[in-house]
Chain A
């Protein structure tokens, strides 16, 4: 049987320079993709392999020769003749500051790789002073755009507040939110089309919110968990993970990951079961699946309890 082979539209190859090395990539390749191909590591936070780059976090900035400002590697496309530096003093400075600014205002304790980057760039988030007290729940959500209490600068403002636990399936701990927009994009027109959340407010008071900050069960949320899948910092997590972390029993090293096929319907999505102590503690989905790209529905994501009912009810 002959199988048709779908070929992408041919793309012109262009020559550019990254850190002094020549690279030849198809036209339209981003700087980040070119760096990955060349084996140059570029830190990213808001970049998602299944989403359109938002270039909001600015930790991936690189220096393009002749440009007035630094450019985000995740979204800037390489152009012929472009000369990019990924480790110049300017780049290192901005990356260091981005990490410090985030580290001083957000809880990055569950963000993978960030500790290593902090060390690499010599970031010291503590130098902006002691952290301000977390806000009470609802205070940040009630802030009015374009107004704030100046205070005296003695404590560094943070986005910290108690976690939002308003349903049985997942927890929103916005103390850990770096405002990468990925959950909003995954919930919105890039994947789920539920539009349950948006970025509300402005500036430092911007936050991810349902309409009027209503609880998730009152919102348009369908509990697909695709926001959890893309969250880079652990701000969104399964209730199981949140509770186990709180109890100190979460141990990723003891977990196994098994990718299998969801049994609920005929689509056949891939699910990856994260198992600790013979219990499913989290479900993710492979991003390279050509059909689902890491997305699931509520059944695949959260419908695993029946697997582990062991005669206890």
Chain B
């Protein structure tokens, strides 16, 4: 392809970052030194364009090394991969974590989403603004830039902040719960550039990882993953049983705690046997859409087109959700094993693990796990000596909720913009690279391990008839012991809130947000809702990704709704009109209501916009962008016609129409 590039060159650092990912360029055609022989024939063409899926990793490589993507760096990437610069720019500008203007090496992401806002992120925001100037690209010689971030998935220790520092290797640090002092350390601590001890190779340098395992100087280390599980070590745990009990970096630990027994069993059963067990288990997707996993696998396995792909959706971004992070940080090998089993069942040789960019520690642990598994023959050309060939490629998102939508994730992996695709065709027919693909959430996949170890029918006996197995719930907000809870399906919402210690002393419940920003609010008198797919559905709510965000009587509901609306506006990909403009109009209306506009005028407008978003948007993001607002109006009585200020309608008041199987979050976001 004839590329026309801007006349700007990459710095040595930028070149090195890209070339250490892509290898040394072969000729002048792909960014190397021009030689005489280059003048006689063109290289590139299809072979170069076939590597388009390395565009996102290449952008990351530069952003990780120097903190932003310059014109010269983008040029170099384009030349290396034969990507037109306008397309590379289109992709780079799609992601919130990439900067296309110069900024300091260190960037602080301050979570201002629901749980963190309730825990006081407002004050922290002001503190950062005072220290570092306005959010954005950083001002003058400030030591760091900062952004307000959507949910960072650390809701159990809100308010949370994450600092990423570019360098070789890049580093990360977390402050959660973020104290003013901890935040200052993130923003200012330590030398900003390379040098100092920042360049010391990581301890396990034979397994290079994207991030240095230690925090940058000045920042305090993060507590272990088990800190997110209040009853870690409980004998009742199935999915969380290894969290806190094994070293997440040790394959030996994993194997001695029962690891890889399920894969052995899978290899014994054969692909069809695995699918039969999974189908018998009644396992359904945990990302939000609750689609039967066995059916998805079977449909993918039977496609005549080849190759087949597996995609693990670890782009957990639904506000209030952190279950997948805890699994990936605390028990990363279980995901690697489960992906191997899934790949075996559907006939895939490659599995893509797409993890959100805001999870550096989970990425570190998974990179280590994949390297170790490969080294021991648990991944690679001959898995466990069975002749089955399977490997995992990890792909990191860069700050885009929409990439967790099951078709947008394909675009993101392929090096395109993360825009959802129209269905049909469904992923099982035409998914990643246009080939049959099974997309599964992290929690769904790790459930396959107990399915195989217990047997499908025994697994199906856990939980209720319609919702089988154990389930992870992400408890956050105004409870005494927020964290990740594992319960068999069947417990009620009240049981769960009780398990988390209930509201703080002297406080009463105001509402519970079920299912995240794409979910629904329920009232304190609805705590008897059974936390099953069918139970939530019958109550006109949705379990979504397992978010249970508790709000007490101090909660500022109008502010929360405005935050939810701002979230959807920020995260809309912009492809379709109902969502691109509808989310803007929804936010504007909620802001007017907050400043005292008449609900009699605004609520009908919100309803009309919401209905069009639900009916006419391409994907689940737009289709669910009005759920929480609608439920706050209809179930909580916010902005009700008679008394806008006073909440608490009579119990049994108007209920939202049952969203039915309306897909929330990941699998059909």
Contact = CB atoms under 8 A, between A and B. Distances in A.
B576 interface: yes
Interface stretch (B93-101, B428-436, B477-485, B531-539): B93-101
8 contacts: A68-B661, A72-B422, A104-B585, A152-B595, A153-B592, A153-B595, A156-B585, A193-B1
A70 B605 contact: no
B615 A94 contact: yes
A244 interface: no
A209 B90 CA distance: 8
Contact of A151 (B74, B591, B612): B591
Contacts of B417: 199
A153 B590 contact: yes
B93 A70 contact: no
Given A56-B576, A69-B614, A153-B588, A204 B581 contact: yes
A105 B137 CA distance: 27
A58 interface: yes
Contacts of B583: 203-204
Contact of B100 (A57, A105, A156, A212): A212
Nearest to B401: A146
A297 interface: no
* Interface-central residue, A55, A212, A220, by most chain B CB under 10 Å: A212
Interface stretch (B79-87, B215-223, B235-243, B492-500): B79-87
How large, as a class, is the contact surface on chain B? 35 or more
A98 B609 CA distance: 9
B591 A196 contact: no
Given A209-B89, A218-B6, 12 more contacts: A69-B615, A72-B422, A90-B615, A97-B609, A101-B577, A129-B592, A145-B400, A157-B584, A198-B87, A202-B94, A204-B574, A206-B575
A112 B566 CA distance: 33
Given A93-B615, A148-B569, A179-B580, A197 B86 contact: yes
Shortest 9 CB-CB contacts between residues of A and residues of B: A198-B90, A146-B96, A206-B574, A153-B591, A195-B84, A97-B612, A101-B581, A153-B588, A211-B85
A98 B562 contact: no
Contacts of A59: 577
B611 interface: yes
B71 A212 contact: yes
A267 interface: no
A147 B618 contact: no
Contact of A154 (B85, B592, B615): B592
Contacts of B93: 145, 200-202, 209
A93 B613 CA distance: 11
B660 A211 contact: no
Contacts of A209: 86, 89-90, 93
A236 B506 CA distance: 62
Given A57-B576, A152-B595, A147 B147 contact: yes
Interface in A107-163: 127-129, 142, 144-148, 150-154, 156-157
A307 interface: no
Contacts of B580: 179, 203-204, 206
A102 interface: yes
Interface residues of A, number: 61
A148 B566 contact: yes
A212 B89 contact: yes
A97 B94 contact: no
A205 interface: yes
Contact of A220 (B4, B74, B572, B605): B4
Interface string A62-106: 000000111010010000000000000010011011100110110
Contact of A147 (B136, B575, B608): B136
B560 to A, nearest CB: 13
B623 A147 contact: no
Contacts of B422: 55, 72, 75
A212 B588 contact: no
A1 B551 CA distance: 83
Given A69-B623, A147-B96, A201 B574 contact: yes
B447 interface: no
B85 A152 contact: no
A227 to B, nearest CB: 12
B229 interface: no
Contacts of A219: 4, 86
Contacts of B96: 144-147, 202
A97 B581 CA distance: 10
B148 interface: yes
A300 B95 CA distance: 39
A178 interface: yes
Contacts of B4: 219-220
* Interface-central residue, B93, B584, B587, by most chain A CB under 10 Å: B93
Contacts of A220: 3-4, 84-86
A94 B578 contact: yes
B562 A150 contact: yes
Nearest to A45: B577
Contact of B591 (A72, A150, A218): A150
Nearest to B94: A202
Given A56-B576, A93-B611, A98-B616, A105 B581 contact: yes
B341 interface: no
A235 interface: no
A278 B528 CA distance: 79
Nearest to A157: B584
A214 interface: yes
A127 B566 contact: no
Given A145-B400, A204-B569, A204-B574, A97 B588 contact: no
Contacts of A90: 615
A12 B4 CA distance: 46
* Interface-central residue, A101, A148, A214, A218, by most chain B CB under 10 Å: A101
Contacts of A50: none
Given A197-B86, A220-B84, A148 B570 contact: yes
Interface in A170-209: 178-179, 188, 193, 195-206, 209
B662 interface: yes
A195 B86 contact: yes
A144 B86 contact: no
Contacts of B576: 55-58
A102 B616 contact: no
A239 interface: no
B168 to A, nearest CB: 25
A201 B84 contact: no
A156 B400 contact: no
A272 B524 CA distance: 68
Contacts of A75: 422
Contact of A210 (B86, B592, B611): B86
Nearest to A94: B616
Given A68-B660, A69-B623, A209-B90, A157 B588 contact: yes
Nearest to A71: B422
A203 B571 contact: yes
A270 B416 CA distance: 35
Nearest to A75: B422
A25 interface: no
A61 interface: yes
B100 A56 contact: no
A202 B400 contact: yes
B578 A97 contact: yes
B150 interface: yes
B88 interface: yes
B135 interface: yes
Contact of A101 (B99, B135, B572, B578): B578
B578 A58 contact: yes
A245 B147 CA distance: 43
Interface in B611-628: 611-612, 614-618, 623
A153 B616 CA distance: 24
A204 B87 contact: no
Contacts of B1: 193, 195
